[in-house]
Amino acid sequence: MTTKKIVLDLLEENKGNFVSGEELAKKAYVSRAAVWKAVLSLQKEGYEIEGVSRKGYRLSSSDSFSAEEIKKYLKDIPIFFYEDVDSTNTETKRLINNGIKAPFVCIARKQSGGRGRRGRSFLSQEGGIYFSVALSLDRNFDTETVTTAAVTGIAKAIESLGFEVGIKWVNDLFVKGKKVVGILTEGVVNLEEGCISDVIIGIGTNYTTRSFPSELEAICTSLYPDGNAPLSRSEFAALEIEETIKAIFNPDYLTEYRKRCFVLGKDVMVMKMNASLPAKAIDLDDKAHLVVQYPDGSIEHLSSGEVSIRSTL
């Protein structure tokens, strides 16, 4: 057991009370300098540890975010944790290419090059939860439905906190009229077999993000902008991962998706190339393609790769 883990366990046992550095050092069989270094490391991970001369250290709260903490709640899947990475999806591909076998999760405190759909960037700052789930799928699995299934899992995780969640087709989750989650799914092709062997589901959640750039303030929000979340980021990340995996293998995911999709029944603008076409969103087909009807009565089934949807309301 590491010094950091021993110090954390001792502080948690005495949460709210001071424990002297001398006592921590004695019980951990290390020097007081080693205890101090362990405390600094824990503080960087999000633990609020107060240090007072002649009193010692006191653990006040624990919005911790680390692989060790996540594993307390999610024990059955390997975790790769990073302080900062370009993109968890990109890093997941690197791990697969280096021989790491799915399933596993790649998670980061921050992303310097977070990616969204159609090449867009995804803001990934402190306070968010950014992870990618890598799953190995058999030939019979319908990879086309992975994204929409995963969306329902994340929706359930957020709803467990008491929020009402809406889905904007295809893969954006909204709370109180603003986006809180984005999802990007990518496949890894097995060149020998000529098919997708692994799928990577990248998910970014604005959890305790406190502020956004001015151009995003009107369209994005976080679940707990004041930072007072009932679950630590580690605990909620574990819940999101668990619900995502369950949803992907839920045969009735489309029923769950339809209940939350606020685009259905609305007048929309279908964006194609440089054209904007008015239509009405009337249903989802069994592949979660959006079924729209144009003013001339013609019907089209739209996939995520073809269009984006903009409400006219």
User: Which structure tokens are listed for 134?
Assistant: 């890598």
Tens of pLDDT, residue by residue over 15-72, are 778 999 999 999 999 999 999 999 998 887 767 788 998 899 998 766 678 888 899 8
Average pLDDT over the chain, rounded to an integer:
86
pLDDT band at 187 (very low <50, low <70, confident <90, very high): confident
Q: Final residue of a domain: which of 46, 62, 78?
A: 62
Count of domains observed in the chain: 3
- In this structure, the answer to whether residues 30 and 121 fall within a common structural domain is no
Query: Tell me, what's the pLDDT at 123?
Result: 56
Count the alpha carbons within 13 Å of 269 in the hemisphere toward its beta carbon: 9
- In this structure, the answer to whether residues 73 and 167 fall within a common structural domain is yes
User: Which structure tokens are listed for 129?
Assistant: 């939860």
- In this structure, the answer to whether residues 255 and 134 fall within a common structural domain is yes
Task: Check if the beta carbon of residue 95 is closer than 8 Å to that of residue 69.
Answer: no
Instruction: Give mean pLDDT, residues 152-179.
Output: 95
Query: Tell me, what's the pLDDT at 163?
Result: 97
Q: Final residue of a domain: which of 15, 38, 62?
A: 62
Residue 126 to residues 5, 95, 216, Cα–Cα distance (Å): 24, 24, 16
- In this structure, the answer to whether residues 174 and 254 fall within a common structural domain is yes
- In this structure, the answer to whether residues 159 and 193 fall within a common structural domain is yes
Q: How far apart are CA 130 and CA 114, in angstroms?
A: 9
Query: Tell me, what's the pLDDT at 130?
Result: 94
Q: How far apart are CA 254 and CA 147, in angstroms?
A: 11
Query: Tell me, what's the pLDDT at 194?
Result: 60
- In this structure, the answer to whether residues 132 and 156 fall within a common structural domain is yes
- Tell me which residue has tokens 């010692």: 56
- In this structure, the answer to whether residues 37 and 127 fall within a common structural domain is no
CATH number at residue 295: 2.30.30.100
CATH number at residue 8: 1.10.10.10
Query: Tell me, what's the pLDDT at 298?
Result: 96
- In this structure, the answer to whether residues 38 and 110 fall within a common structural domain is no
Query: Tell me, what's the pLDDT at 228?
Result: 84
pLDDT band at 303 (very low <50, low <70, confident <90, very high): confident
Query: What 3 state SS string does the chain have?
Result: CCHHHHHHHHHHHCCCCCECHHHHHHHHCCCHHHHHHHHHHHHHCCEEEEEECCCEEEEEEECCCCHHHHHHHCCCCCEEEEEEECCHHHHHHHHHHCCCCCCEEEEEEEECCCECHHHCECCCCCCEEEEEEEEECCCCCCHHHHHHHHHHHHHHHHHCCCCCCEEECCCEEEECCEEEEEEEEEEEEECCCCEEEEEEEEEEEECCCCCCCCCCCCCECCCCCCCCCCCCHHHHHHHHHHHHHHHHCCCCHHHHHHHHECCCCCEEEEEECCEEEEEEEEEECCCCCEEEECCCCCEEEECCCCCEEEECC
Q: Which domain holds residue 139?
A: 67-260
Between residues 209 and 154, the one the model is more confident about: 154
Indicate whether this model's pTM tops 0.85.
no
- In this structure, the answer to whether residues 237 and 112 fall within a common structural domain is yes
- In this structure, the answer to whether residues 202 and 234 fall within a common structural domain is yes
- In this structure, the answer to whether residues 113 and 188 fall within a common structural domain is yes
Residue 189 has pLDDT above 80, yes or no: no
Query: Tell me, what's the pLDDT at 255?
Result: 94
Q: How far apart are CA 285 and CA 254, in angstroms?
A: 9
Tens of pLDDT, residue by residue over 14-30, are 877 899 999 999 999 99
Q: Final residue of a domain: which of 24, 42, 62?
A: 62
Tens of pLDDT, residue by residue over 101-132, are 999 999 998 888 655 454 454 555 678 999 99
Q: How far apart are CA 255 and CA 28, in angstroms?
A: 53
- In this structure, the answer to whether residues 33 and 171 fall within a common structural domain is no
Residue 36, amino acid: W
- The answer to which of 135-149, 209-223, 230-244, 262-276 has the lowest mean pLDDT is 135-149
Q: How far apart are CA 244 and CA 190, in angstroms?
A: 24
On the question of a cis peptide bond just before residue 105, with omega within 30 degrees of 0, the verdict is no
Query: Tell me, what's the pLDDT at 5?
Result: 85
